[in-house]
Amino acid sequence: MKAVFACALVLLSLVSPSARAAAQRQLTYTVEAVPRRSGLRLSVDLSFSGGETGHTRLHLPSHFSGQRELYKNVQGLTAVSPGVTLADTDAPDVKRVTFLPGQTVHLHYEVAADESSPSGQPGAYFRPALQAAYFHFIGTTVWAYPAQYGKPLLVTLHWKLPTGWAFCDSFGASPADQQFGGTLEQFLETVYVGGDFRVLTVQASGRPVTVALRGKWKFSDSDFAALAGRIVATERDFWRDQNFPYYLVTLIPAEQPAHLGSDDGGVELTHSVALFQTKGRPLDVELKYVLAHELFHEWNADQMQTGDAPLYWFSEGFTDYYARLLLLRGGLISLEEYARGFNTLLREYAESPDRNRRGEEAARGFYSGTALARLPYQQGALLAAHWNAAIRSATSDARSLDDVLRDLKAAAAPVTADAVAAALRHYGVPDAAGEVARIIESGETLAADPRALGPGFTLHTKKMPQFELGFDGAATMARRTVAGVKPGSRAYWAGLRDGQEVLSCAPFVVGDPNQRLSLTVRDSAGMKDVEFTPVGDSLPVPQYARDKGAATNGACLAWFGNLPGAAGH
Ligand SMILES: [Zn+2]
């Protein structure tokens, strides 16, 4: 997932290099990490030129990826320069700063660990982690900044760290003075780690990729670094874009005391990807997928212009499709793993209670954290596979969806539904606009394309047991009290009832009906263990199966790989 700030990027490109220095707003941050018994404090000195108006608005950290009230972590905000004053406004995350025209404004503040730590909540890892032994934070959650009015920035960062601390951030692996020029959004969407992180650097197509991780995993650091390097190289090759002097991948364990389901996450940032994964997890297909998905956002949609309305089925759905496809092309997953992933996607789409919701509802529900939020991913990935097959068939395998993506990125126009349809029409797909109107906008069910997995696979319909949790997982997790138990479900027959207190719950995978769920709950009758299989009614689901004796593995892989007719090959 990734917000896109196309307007800011356009503004930057309009400023000529010579005019840039004068038009840039210079911000200087000096950051000291001060370990305390209670955790780490970040002591931040911010200075900037106040401008001629004599006043500006100072924005404090506010929200990021579902986490709110981040300004509550900011303490002791004071004006260091004489004559500068700070005043509250109606908004708790905005202060009014007054100064003499042209004066340099120097402010000081500290950021402390969350007082009321929401560490059990989903996505809490997006908040700054400030511990005695390390820090990990996203720029948005720590940097205060003066109102910008669209000006590009020139930011200087000075770091003061305890002796022996490892360090890296989105700008480099050295805490010596760092400089960054770009937009405010690019500056805020960054990751910073220091302390007991293990830092490794590998080369991807001759350019350094740095990996910083902490915590215990079921894989070695060097295996993770090698994987990151290979995924980065595969995706840069796909886009024919090697313009990356530096790239950072961070990985930290997600802490989840009130664990219900998994809360794995990742976010694509400026020159970097930050991953948050369940403690101790293996280097499996899903972890590879998360990394490939987030990295792909570097181009889709960061390096593409976006239209006025978010095009989630394109930015997320196409990214989903290519994340798996490029893992296969890069030899990082097997044909069987690819097919299994695709079949899981089909099953989730078939089971989704929100499959037929209209596009505007899906867009509104994108940050809802429910099945509705997944719909654009499912629709977009299935449409991508369908259109790829249609292009292959219309061009006798000379062209593929790869060409459409590269054309859209090269075009100096916003990527809208119409632009995608026009690009597809160019490669022999006549009515993509109609398909978007029916499937995305009206919410019609998209039938799986029998050609989508190439010559070695056939599409069947299989009766499959449906995943059914049998209670409201999100509400139960939030209050640690069982809620929304469905009468007649396996959860109900196992003894789960609304109002029971949840004492513990073993981790489980949402969507997988082939597992045992086990919870310990307490009610008026005392404590009890509840165990059940989260399975509901069976449902007919389209699934691909490998044809025995048909195309060889090599022929199947060749079909998924780069095409002989594609430009540059
Ligand atoms: Zn995404």
CB 136 within 8 A of CB 191: yes
Q: Among the residues of 411-562, which ranges form H helices?
A: 417-426, 432-435, 473-479, 490-493, 553-560
Three-class secondary structure assignment of 389-431:
HHHHHHCCCCCCHHHHHHHHHHCCCCECHHHHHHHHHHCCCCC
pLDDT digits 0-9 by tens, 556-565: 999 998 544 4
Q: Tell me the residues surrounding ligand 1 (ion) with CB < 5 Å.
A: 1, 316
Name which of 21, 33, 28 is nearest 105 in CA terms: 28
Asked if the model's pLDDT at residue 221 lies above 90, the reply is yes
CA-to-CA separations, 462 to 83, 177, 271, 382, 549, in angstroms, rounded: 74, 60, 43, 18, 21
Rounded to 5°, the CA angle 13-14-20 comes to 85
pLDDT digits 0-9 by tens, 391-406: 999 999 999 999 999 9
The pLDDT value recorded for residue 118 is 61
Beta-strand relationship, 166-169 and 153-160? unpaired
Q: Which two tokens stand for residue 163?
A: 């002796």
Compute the distance from residue 508 Cα to the ligand 1 centre, in Å: 22
Beta strands in 468-566 (DSSP E): 501-505, 517-523, 526-532, 535-546
The pLDDT value recorded for residue 8 is 27
The pLDDT value recorded for residue 568 is 36
The pLDDT value recorded for residue 473 is 86
The region of weakest confidence among 10-19, 25-34, 98-107, 431-440 is 10-19
Residues 6+ apart with CB under 8 A from 245: 207, 208
Q: Strand order in 265-269's β-sheet?
A: 198-204, 207-213, 247-254, 272-278, 265-269
The region of weakest confidence among 27-31, 222-226, 452-456, 504-508 is 504-508
Asked if the model's pLDDT at residue 200 lies above 90, the reply is yes
Angle 285-296/335-351 helices, nearest 10 degrees? Answer: 80
What's the whole-number average pLDDT of the chain? 89
pLDDT digits 0-9 by tens, 155-173: 999 999 999 999 999 999 9
In angstroms, rounded to a whole number, what is the distance separating the alpha carbons of residues 415 and 398?
Answer: 24
Compute the distance from residue 299 Cα to the ligand 1 centre, in Å: 11
Rounded to 5°, the CA angle 537-540-541 comes to 115
In angstroms, rounded to a whole number, what is the distance separating the alpha carbons of residues 395 and 392?
Answer: 5
In angstroms, rounded to a whole number, what is the distance separating the alpha carbons of residues 226 and 291?
Answer: 12
Task: Band the pLDDT of 478: cuts 50, 70, 90.
Answer: confident
In angstroms, rounded to a whole number, what is the distance separating the alpha carbons of residues 125 and 148?
Answer: 28
Provide the Cα torsion 268, 509, 469, 530; round to 10°.
-140
The pLDDT of 439-462, averaged and rounded, is: 96
Compute the distance from residue 2 Cα to the ligand 1 centre, in Å: 6
The pLDDT of 197-220, averaged and rounded, is: 95
DSSP state of 317: I
Compute the distance from residue 298 Cα to the ligand 1 centre, in Å: 10
Compute the distance from residue 351 Cα to the ligand 1 centre, in Å: 21
pLDDT digits 0-9 by tens, 281-340: 889 999 999 999 999 999 998 889 888 888 999 999 999 999 999 999 999 999 999 999
- CATH class in words for 1-195: mainly beta
The pLDDT value recorded for residue 120 is 64
pLDDT digits 0-9 by tens, 236-274: 999 999 988 899 999 999 865 444 556 678 899 999 999
The pLDDT value recorded for residue 62 is 95
Task: Band the pLDDT of 131: cuts 50, 70, 90.
Answer: very high
Beta-strand relationship, 457-467 and 535-546? antiparallel
Q: Which two tokens stand for residue 539?
A: 């449902």
The pLDDT value recorded for residue 525 is 94
The pLDDT of 207-217, averaged and rounded, is: 95
Compute the distance from residue 373 Cα to the ligand 1 centre, in Å: 11
In angstroms, rounded to a whole number, what is the distance separating the alpha carbons of residues 177 and 37?
Answer: 28
From the candidate CATH numbers 3.40.50.300, 1.10.390.10, 1.20.1440.60, 3.90.76.10, the one assigned to the domain spanning 197-298: 1.10.390.10
The pLDDT value recorded for residue 305 is 86
The pLDDT value recorded for residue 116 is 63
Task: Band the pLDDT of 3: cuts 50, 70, 90.
Answer: very low
Name which of 267, 256, 285 is nearest 343 in CA terms: 285
- Sequence ranges of the domains in the chain: 1-195, 197-298, 312-455, 469-533
Compute the distance from residue 462 Cα to the ligand 1 centre, in Å: 29
Q: How many CB atoms lie within 10 A of CB 119?
A: 14
Compute the distance from residue 15 Cα to the ligand 1 centre, in Å: 30
What percent of the chain shows pLDDT beyond 90?
71
Q: 142 or 301: which carries more pLDDT confidence?
A: 142
Asked if the model's pLDDT at residue 343 lies above 50, the reply is yes
Compute the distance from residue 555 Cα to the ligand 1 centre, in Å: 31
CB 291 within 8 A of CB 249: yes
pLDDT digits 0-9 by tens, 500-550: 999 988 877 777 888 899 999 999 999 999 999 999 989 999 999 999 877
Task: Band the pLDDT of 119: cuts 50, 70, 90.
Answer: low
The pLDDT value recorded for residue 13 is 30
